Every structure is written in structure tokens, then in C-alpha cells.
């Protein structure tokens, strides 16, 4: 096992990793920017090293400062959390050269899955369904027009170097294709320094369903079921749940087998997520693979009873996976992301937490780095807390979440708590009727009944 773990992250996930290390009896090193001196991850770690000024590129993305911090403190492994350097193949390679262990998949696999066009090819070669579209990045608009005519409109153009919704263009007819291709290329070139773009048939109203996967260093690969992540706004997830109300045990088994097949094809190690689009007719298609622990991992922990962060550390240290693949989810879990943001404009709302009372009670978990008088700095993401509930059924979990949201008191900043309370009582949400367009429809419905719903808005 590792002797000391450095956490190359901040906020709630840094704290979550410290908790796992403590339970495993492994000392921790926090790194922090000067904006995070008063952060709980610094308080709770055994040692701490300041790695630079507030901007991420000077601190949490600063590879040489982080490696120096590991060398100074004698850490022998690095956990990257999510975001920042978590999917940076170069960082993982440099660590290997410095004889530091990386708690994550091999750098070649990070790189291969980071190229979304290559990931699509890899999935197809492993026998995982992909949407009809291009095998290789597009050459010119004539080729794009030929392909689009073959698969049928609408089609979607995606940046190979993108992911998470950046650099996407939906094309409804041939007359728009050449213009949109040029625009997509330019945007991708600007944002990622790589103008490669590929094309897929566009599904108008799918669900976003992702499978948690794990691989060890001995060739074992398992899946731990799915998360329903259709409730998003501008590609930011708001609510996640497990299991998905849309999956039957039979569909879960087929999608899980596809996820495992893809991981086996690349000899995947550590935690990962396979994202699928699920069409209304029950067909599913590979979308992307994320080669990290995700924000929403707690809903999987609640329905499996596992500690996924501990499992990441154990697997990275060479332990064998002993959990069977496809264990049956127990009960139902829901997570609401509590962001520091303006409830109407969704603009970030950093600042001091004047009151911060978190809910507790049966089946209620709060993952947060917040505390009374903590000041949320403006430099990083706006996630302040994740409120997770677990209960026997989906209806019970919804009732528990409503109760927990009512008992969550945050003053000093604006948060997404009021928005979550409104979503939780939406009849479509209650019935499990959702798609990636849920929030668009929900906000439209609300605008129509403006202030006539008794919510006081
Ligand atoms: C799609 C799609 C429909 N058809 N691809 C959005 C994020 C990026 N990972 C890919 N995304 C999508 N790809 C095809 N062929 C719809 C989306 C999409 C979406 C996916 C998941 C959750 C929310 C979404 C919101 C808009 C579009």
C-alpha cells in the first residue's frame, strides 16, 4: 500500500479523498493555492504545501509545483480527483518518470479516450453500439455531405478534442452543413488547438445514462451499474440518480456488458465511466468515456454500499478486485448539486457562507467543503455541496430529498437549492419521464406559469 498520498485537487473532492485515506490509514498531503489557505482540505490533511497564486494554471494545473510538493513531502502516490489534471495524460506520464504512482488509468488509455473520434472507433471495434457517422475525422464538406445524406438529418458535428458539449454543432439540413463544419472547426481549433471534427446521427431527445466501471492491474473489469444524468443545464449536471428509472434488469445487463467489453478492449485500470445515449425505443449508443472518478460517484456508492475512492486507491496499489460485476442496486439514491449561483441567471455567486446548516438524518449524506464563514473564492467551480439521499424506493428517495433540501440552510450567497426544490416536485420528474431536454422544457413550463405556482418567484 502507499505510504503517503498527495491530493492534486481542492474543494469537496479533496476532502472526500482525505476521508478515504484516513480510513485506509494513509497520511495525506494537501496542495493549495493562496486563495484556499482557509479551506478544509488544508485543515484536514496531515501536511500541506502552497503551490501558487489563485489562477488554476498557476496552482492546481501547475505540474512542476505539484511534483515538487510530492518530492518535498515524500508522497509516493497522487490522486487527481476530477477536473484539473485528472484527465491529463502528460501529467500521468511525468509522474511515472518521477517514480510517483498515479491513482488512475494508464496514460495511453487517457489519451486514447480523450480523443473522442478515436474513442468512438475503439468502442465500435469492441462491438459496442455507436451512432451511425464518420469512422475518421471529416476531411471536407463534400465528404461530410455524403455521410450526412447516408445517415440522415439531423446530424451532429463534434470536436475530436472536445467532450462535455464543447465545440458541438447540430445540423438540420444539407444547406447548413458546410457553414456549420467551418464554424465547428474554427471553434475547435481555437479552444483545443485541434480542428478535427467528426459527425454522428443526432438523437433529438435521448437520456444520458452512464455506467460506473472499474479495472484492476490483473485484467479484471467490472461494472457497478448506471447513473441517470439527464437533468443537466448547459452540459452541467444538476441531479443524478441510481438506478435509472428507464432501465430494466435486462437492459442494464446488456449496457453493462457493453461497458465492460470496451474496458477489456483497452485493458482499463481504475475507475471510469462509460457514457451512453439511450433512445426512446430502448437502443443505446456509446457517447464518451471519462477516465476519472466523477462528481456523481456517491449515488453509485449509496446503492452498492462501496467506497469508490478507497477502491481507486486499493486498485492503484495493486489489489485485486473481488466485487462481482453487475451487482444488483440496493434501493434508490439521488444527488442534487448545490452550486453557488444566481437562481435565475445561473451566474456564479461566490462569497461568504454566513449560515451553513447541512441536513442529516437517515439516508442523508452531504459531501461539502463548506462551513460557516467560509468564503467561496471566485476562481474555481461553483459547487459548494452535494446532497445525496438513499431510500428503499425512488418515491421514498424523492420525499427524503425534499425534506433534506428544506433543512439545508445557506445564507450569504445564492444557491441552486430553490431550483432543486422546484424540480423535485415536477410531475415529469416524479414519474421518471426525462431526457437531455428536461431542463429546457422545465424552465419553459415555469416561465409560462410565472409566479402563479405559489413558489414565490
Ligand atoms: C449527442 C446528442 C445527440 N446525438 N450526440 C452533449 C455532451 C456531449 N458529451 C455529447 N452531447 C450530446 N451528444 C448525438 N449523436 C446529444 C447530446 C446532448 C446531451 C447529452 C447528454 C446530456 C445532455 C445533453 C444536452 C444536449 C445535447
Question: Tell me: the pLDDT tens digits for 228-266?
Answer: 999 999 999 999 999 999 999 999 999 999 999 999 999
Mutate to test the pocket of ligand 1, among 116, 133, 156, 279 (most ligand atoms within 8 A of CB): 156
Mean pLDDT of 366-378: 98
Residue 422 CB-half CA count within 13 A: 20
Residue nearest to atom 18 of ligand 1 (CA): 436
Residue 453 scores a pLDDT above 80: no
Does the CB atom of residue 235 touch ligand 1 within 6 A? yes
Q: What amino acid positions are annotated as catalytic residues? A: 292
Helix, strand, or coil (residue 278): strand
pLDDT of residue 451: 55
Does the CB atom of residue 132 touch ligand 1 within 6 A? no
CA–centroid distance, residue 284 to ligand 1 (Å): 13
Residue 232 Cα: closest atom of ligand 1? 23
Least confident range of 104-113, 342-351, 426-435: 342-351
Q: Which helix (H) or strand (E) holds 156?
A: strand 155-163
CA–centroid distance, residue 303 to ligand 1 (Å): 26
Proportion of the chain above pLDDT 70, given as a percent:
98
Residue nearest to atom 9 of ligand 1 (CA): 164
Please tell me whether the overall predicted TM-score, pTM, comes out greater than 0.85 for this model. Answer: yes
Q: Which residue has the cell 488512475?
A: 104
Does the CB atom of residue 210 touch ligand 1 within 6 A? no
Residue nearest to atom 6 of ligand 1 (CA): 165
pLDDT per residue as tens digits for the range 65-89 = 999 999 999 999 999 999 999 999 9
pLDDT per residue as tens digits for the range 264-316 = 999 999 999 999 999 999 999 999 999 999 999 999 999 999 999 999 999 99
Mean pLDDT of 343-350: 91
Complete DSSP assignment for 386-427: EEEEEESSHHHHHHHHHHHHHT-EEESS-BSHHHHHHHHT-H
Mean pLDDT of 119-142: 96
Query: 74: phi > 0 → left, psi -120 to 50 → alpha, else beta; which?
Result: left
Mean pLDDT of 25-33: 99
Q: Three cell numbers at 134?
A: 464518420
CA–centroid distance, residue 240 to ligand 1 (Å): 16
Proportion of the chain above pLDDT 90, given as a percent:
96
Does the CB atom of residue 123 touch ligand 1 within 6 A? no
Residue 133 Cα: closest atom of ligand 1? 15
Angstrom distances, CA of residue 247 to CA of 33, 365, 394, 426: 43, 25, 13, 21
Mean pLDDT of 5-12: 99
Residue nearest to atom 26 of ligand 1 (CA): 436
CA–centroid distance, residue 132 to ligand 1 (Å): 15
Residue 164 scores a pLDDT above 50: yes
- Of the pLDDT bands very low, low, confident and very high (cuts 50, 70, 90), residue 457 is very low
Angstrom distances, CA of residue 36 to CA of 10, 29, 60, 141: 8, 14, 11, 48
Residue nearest to atom 15 of ligand 1 (CA): 202
Rg of the chain, C-alpha, whole Å: 22
- Of the pLDDT bands very low, low, confident and very high (cuts 50, 70, 90), residue 352 is very high
Q: Indicate the DSSP class of residue 249.
A: H
Q: Which residue has the cell 473520434?
A: 117
Mean model confidence pLDDT for the chain: 96
- Of the pLDDT bands very low, low, confident and very high (cuts 50, 70, 90), residue 209 is very high
- Of the pLDDT bands very low, low, confident and very high (cuts 50, 70, 90), residue 456 is very low
Q: How far apart are CA 57 and CA 88, in angstroms?
A: 13
Mean pLDDT of 20-48: 98
Does the CB atom of residue 208 touch ligand 1 within 6 A? yes
pLDDT of residue 162: 86
Residue 229 Cα: closest atom of ligand 1? 22
Amino acid at each position: 500500500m502507499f505510504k503517503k498520498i498527495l491530493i492534486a485537487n481542492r474543494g469537496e473532492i479533496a476532502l472526500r479523498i482525505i476521508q478515504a485515506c484516513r480510513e485506509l490509514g494513509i497520511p495525506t498531503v494537501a496542495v493549495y493555492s493562496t486563495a484556499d489557505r482557509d479551506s478544509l482540505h488544508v485543515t484536514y490533511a496531515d501536511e500541506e504545501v502552497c503551490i501558487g497564486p489563485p489562477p488554476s494554471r498557476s496552482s492546481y494545473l501547475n505540474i512542476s509545483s505539484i511534483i515538487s510538493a510530492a518530492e518535498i513531502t515524500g508522497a509516493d502516490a497522487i490522486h487527481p480527483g476530477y477536473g484539473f489534471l485528472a484527465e491529463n495524460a502528460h501529467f500521468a506520464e511525468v509522474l511515472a518518470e518521477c517514480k510517483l504512482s498515479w491513482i488512475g488509468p494508464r496514460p495511453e488509455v487517457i489519451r486514447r479516450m480523450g480523443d473522442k473520434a478515436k474513442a468512438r472507433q475503439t468502442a465500435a471495434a469492441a462491438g459496442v453500439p455507436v451512432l451511425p457517422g464518420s469512422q475518421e475525422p471529416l476531411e471536407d464538406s463534400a465528404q461530410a455531405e455524403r455521410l450526412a445524406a447516408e445517415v440522415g438529418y439531423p446530424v451532429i458535428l463534434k470536436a475530436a478534442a472536445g467532450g462535455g458539449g464543447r465545440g458541438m454543432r447540430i445540423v438540420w439540413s444539407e444547406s447548413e452543413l458546410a457553414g456549420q463544419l467551418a464554424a465547428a472547426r474554427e471553434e475547435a481549433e481555437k479552444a483545443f488547438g485541434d480542428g478535427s471534427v467528426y459527425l454522428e446521427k443526432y438523437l433529438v431527445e435521448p437520456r444520458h445514462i452512464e455506467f460506473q466501471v472499474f479495472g484492476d492491474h490483473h485484467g479484471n473489469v467490472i461494472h457497478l451499474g448506471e447513473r441517470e444524468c439527464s437533468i443537466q443545464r448547459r452540459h452541467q449536471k444538476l441531479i443524478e440518480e441510481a438506478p435509472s428509472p428507464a432501465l430494466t434488469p435486462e437492459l442494464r445487463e446488456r449496457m453493462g456488458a457493453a461497458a465492460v467489453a470496451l474496458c477489456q478492449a483497452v485493458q482499463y485500470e481504475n475507475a471510469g465511466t462509460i457514457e451512453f445515449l439511450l433512445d426512446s425505443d430502448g437502443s443505446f449508443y456509446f457517447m464518451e468515456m471519462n477516465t476519472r472518478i466523477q462528481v456523481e460517484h456517491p449515488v453509485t456508492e449509496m446503492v452498492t454500499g462501496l467506497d469508490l475512492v478507497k477502491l481507486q486507491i486499493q486498485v492503484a496499489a495493486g489489489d485485486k478486485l473481488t466485487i462481482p460485476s453487475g451487482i444488483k442496486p440496493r434501493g434508490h439514491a439521488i444527488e442534487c448539486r448545490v452550486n453557488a449561483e444566481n437562481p435565475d441567471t445561473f451566474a456564479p455567486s461566490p462569497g461568504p457562507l454566513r449560515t451553513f446548516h447541512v441536513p442529516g438524518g437517515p439516508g442523508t449524506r452531504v459531501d461539502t467543503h463548506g462551513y460557516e464563514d467560509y468564503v467561496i473564492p471566485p476562481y474555481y467551480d461553483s459547487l459548494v455541496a452535494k446532497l445525496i439521499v438513499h431510500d428503499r424506493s425512488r418515491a421514498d428517495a424523492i420525499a427524503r430529498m425534499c425534506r433534506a433540501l428544506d433543512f439545508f440552510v445557506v445564507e450569504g450567497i445564492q444557491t441552486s437549492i430553490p431550483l432543486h426544490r422546484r424540480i423535485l416536485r415536477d410531475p415529469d420528474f416524479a414519474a421518471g419521464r426525462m431526457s437531455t431536454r428536461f431542463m429546457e422544457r422545465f424552465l419553459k413550463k415555469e416561465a409560462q406559469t410565472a409566479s402563479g405556482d405559489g413558489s414565490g418567484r
